[in-house]
Chain A
Amino acid sequence: MLRIATESEGTPAEEQTAFAGLPALAALLPHAVSPRGLLVEWLSEGSGSGVVSLAARSVLQQLEQTAWAVIDPDGDFFPAMCGWSPSMSKPLVLRPGSAQDLFWTVEQCLRCPGLGLTWCRVERAPPLVLRRWKLAAETGGGTGFLFRPASARKQPTWADLRWLVTTQPGTAAGRRWRIETLYCRGGFSGAAVILEQHHATGAVRVVAELGSATGAPRTPQAARAGAGAVC
C-alpha cells in the first residue's frame, strides 16, 4: 500500500519536464521530455558564447532541488550562477587530470542516483564513451549536459537531444542566441528560436522573427510559445 501511495503521488522529478526554466526551449521539442536519464549536447562556437548560463537557466529549478556536479578539467569554472538564487545548492566540482579520468568521472556522476544534473565541457569523446554515458544516465536517472564545440555536429551522438547555440549580436537590452534543434530522439529536428536575455534582470524572452520563406521549419509547439513571451 505504501508503495502504491508513493507511486501515485509521484516524485518531483517525474512531475518535472526538461528545460522547465525556459519553456521556449521545451516548446521546440515534439513532445514533453522528462529530465530523468536525459543526455543533452549543447554545441556552440568558441568561448564566451553564453551557452552555459543559458543551459543553467533552463534547469534552474532542478539546480535548486538536487545536487549537481560540474566536471571542470581546465580548472577555470567560476560558480557565479550559485549566486543567482539563495536556495541553489553548491556544485560538486571535479577536476580530472587526464582524458581517461574525465570519461570515467562523467560516467560515475551520471550513474549516481544522488546527482540530479551532471555537466561537462568536452571537445572529443569516442562514440563508445558517449554510449556508456547515455546508459549511465539512464541508470542513474539524472540529466547530463555536454558542452561541445560546434564542429562536433558532424560526429555521431548517443545523446537524446542536440542543440546548436549560435551567438547573435545583442541589443542594448540584452544578448541574443539562436537555438536550433539538431537532433531529438523520437522527433523531427530543425526547429529554431531566437532568445534574448535581459542584462539587468536575467529574464529570457523569445524574440519576434520576421517571416522568412527560407527560415527553418518550426514545430507547432514552437509556434504556440508565441513571440515576445517572457520565459
Chain B
Amino acid sequence: MLHEHPRLRGRALVLFADAGQRGLRVTACSAEAAQAGVRPGWPLAEARAMLSGVRSRKQTGAAPAWRRSDPAGDRESLQRLALDAQQFCPFVGIDDAGESLLLDITGCAHLWQDERGLLQEVVTRFRSQGYVTQAAIADTIGGAWGVAHTLSKPTIVPPGETAAALRPLPLEALRFPAAVISGLQDFGVTTVGGLWDLPRDSLPSRFGCDLLRRLDQATGKLRETFTPERFAEPLVEIWAAEEPLTDQMQLATVCRPLLDRLLAALMPQRAGLLDWRCRLQTVSGPVEWDWRLSQPTTDGRHLDQLFRLRCEREPLQQGVTGLRIEVLRAGLLAEQQSTLFEDQRDAGGRDLLQLVDRLTSRLGENAVVQPIFLPDPQPESSCRMEPWTSAPREHEFRPDPLLARNRPSRLLRVPQSLEAMSVVPDGPPLRLFWQGRRWNVHQSWGPERIDTGWWRTRDVRRDYYRVETEEGRHLWLFRRRDTSQWFLHGFFD
C-alpha cells in the first residue's frame, strides 16, 4: 500500500475490513498508527477515536488515512514480488497465510559468493524499492519463517542448528493459531523451548494436531513444500529472415499469419486480443510498437489494418530481419446471442470501436479523445480531454443547460490580448482593436464575474462579456480585474 501510494508515508494508515456481526475491524496498521495505540482486531470506531484523540492532543502531523483492506490485491502484489524475486532463485512461492515470500535457494548461494551475500542482496533489493524487509535463511521453511518473523535483522541459521535457534523464540515463531498460543500461554509456556519440554503425546489432545505438524515442520521432521509462482506462458509468434525486408507491405503480409496464429491460440479460451506488442528487429536495432484496443477482438483483418496504419505513421528507415509479436493482454469475448440477421445497433457499436482503434493507431492516443466535464467555474478547467480508450466514469458531471448556452463553441487555449475601449470604467467594451483592425461593438451581454482558482497557482478574477460586433460576430471577452487588461477567450461559432 505504501509502496503504491507514497503520499501515505509518514501518516497513520489503518486498514479495515467488515467482520460480519462484529462490524468493521482493523486488519492492519502502520507503525505510526501502532505507536498511537491502534492494534489489529480493534473495532474501527475505537481506532478512529484513538487516532483523533492523539491528533487533537498533538495538533501536528497529517490526518490518518483509512483504507478498506483488499486481500486479493495484496495477493496479486505479493505474486508480482515473487516473480520479481526469481532473479535470486528459480523457486519462489508464497506462504499459506499469504504474507511472506519463500525462496528455495538450494544451489544458488554460490552465485552471490555465499549465503550471506545472497541474503544481503535480497534485503538490499527489496529495501531499495521501499519495503521494510525481514529475512532469514534456515534448513526448513518453518525455521526460516520463525526466525524472520521474530528477529528484526537478517539472520542466517547455520546448518543443523535450526532447533537450537528456535528454542529461545516466542511461540508466534511456529505459525500457531492465536487460540493455540493463548492456550499455551495460560499454561505458562511462552517460548518454543518451553513447548518442547512438554510431553509430546499430551499436546494433540489439548491443542490439536496442527500444533505437532507445525512443530515438526520447523525442525525438519516433517517435510514441507510450497508451490512456486510461475509466469503465465507468454503467447508469442516469431518470424525471422536472413535478408532484411524493406517493403512495408511485405512486412504486413508477413505479420498477418502470425496474428492469425495468435488469435487461433486464444480462441479455445473464448478470448480475444486486447493489448499486443510487435518487436521489429531492424538492421540498426529493435523497434517496439504497442497497441491497446478498445475491446477484445478476434478479427485478423482489423489487426492487419492497425499494423499497416502503424507502418504508414512510423515508416521504418531500415530493413527488418525479424518480427516478434506478443500478446500483452487478452480479454474474454462478450457473450452475445447469435441471430439470423445482424443487429444494426450492435454492428454500429462494433464499427465505432474499430474506428477508434484505427484512429488511435495512426494519430496516437492523445489525438483520439473525449470531453470530460468538471465542476470548475474557470472555463479552461471546466472541460478536460481524455483518451477515448480511458475507463468510463459512472457518475459524470454534466454542465447546466443555461450555462452551456452561454459558453462558446471555440475556446482559445491561451487567451489573446486585445485593446478595448469602454465608456465607463469597468464597463462593457464599445470598441475593440484586434487582428490589426477596429471592431465596433453592436451590443454586449455581461459581465459574468468569475473569481476562482485561488487554490491553484494564482487567482482568476475575470469579468466575461459576450459581445456582438457590427458584422454580427459573437466573441467572448474578459477583462482581468486586477490589471483591467482585455483578452479574447473564445468564439460563438
Contact = CB atoms under 8 A, between A and B. Distances in A.
B300 to A, nearest CB: 20
Interface residues of B, number: 57
Interface in B346-395: 347-356, 358-359, 362-363, 366-371, 373, 379, 383, 385, 388
A144 B354 CA distance: 19
Contact of A172 (B356, B362, B443): B443
Contacts of B348: 66-67, 113-114
A47 B491 CA distance: 6
A49 B469 CA distance: 10
Interface residues of A, number: 56
Interface string A56-89: 1000000000110000000111111111111000
Given A78-B408, A95-B367, A108-B358, A114 B352 contact: yes
Contacts of A104: 362
Looking at A56, A95, A147, A176, the one whose CB has the most chain B CB atoms below 10 A away is A95
B388 A97 contact: no
B341 A2 contact: yes
A91 B371 contact: yes
Interface stretch (A18-26, A163-171, A207-215): A163-171
A46 B412 CA distance: 15
Contacts of B404: 80-84
Contact of A52 (B349, B354, B362, B409): B409
B363 A199 contact: no
Contacts of B88: none
A2 B341 CA distance: 8
A51 interface: yes
B371 A93 contact: yes
A202 B405 contact: yes
Nearest to A104: B362
A113 B472 contact: no
Contacts of B359: 94, 105, 108
Contact of A79 (B355, B371, B474): B371
A96 B84 CA distance: 40
Contacts of A66: 348
Given A82-B404, A108-B358, A76 B412 contact: yes
Contacts of A92: 352, 356, 368, 370, 388
B376 to A, nearest CB: 14
B452 to A, nearest CB: 18
A153 interface: no
B363 A94 contact: yes
A94 B368 contact: yes
A96 B473 CA distance: 27
B370 A48 contact: no
A179 B468 CA distance: 19
Contacts of B470: 169
Nearest to B349: A114
Interface in B418-455: 442-443, 445
Contacts of B405: 80, 83-84, 202
Interface in A112-155: 112-115, 147
B401 A96 contact: no
B176 interface: no
Contact of A83 (B349, B388, B400, B473): B400
A53 B493 contact: yes
Interface of A: 2-3, 6, 11, 45-53, 56, 66-67, 75-86, 90-97, 101, 104-105, 108-109, 112-115, 147, 167-170, 172, 175-177, 199, 202
Interface of B: 340-341, 344, 347-356, 358-359, 362-363, 366-371, 373, 379, 383, 385, 388, 398-401, 403-405, 407-413, 442-443, 445, 468-475, 490-493
7 contacts: A48-B469, A78-B383, A80-B399, A90-B370, A93-B368, A105-B363, A112-B354
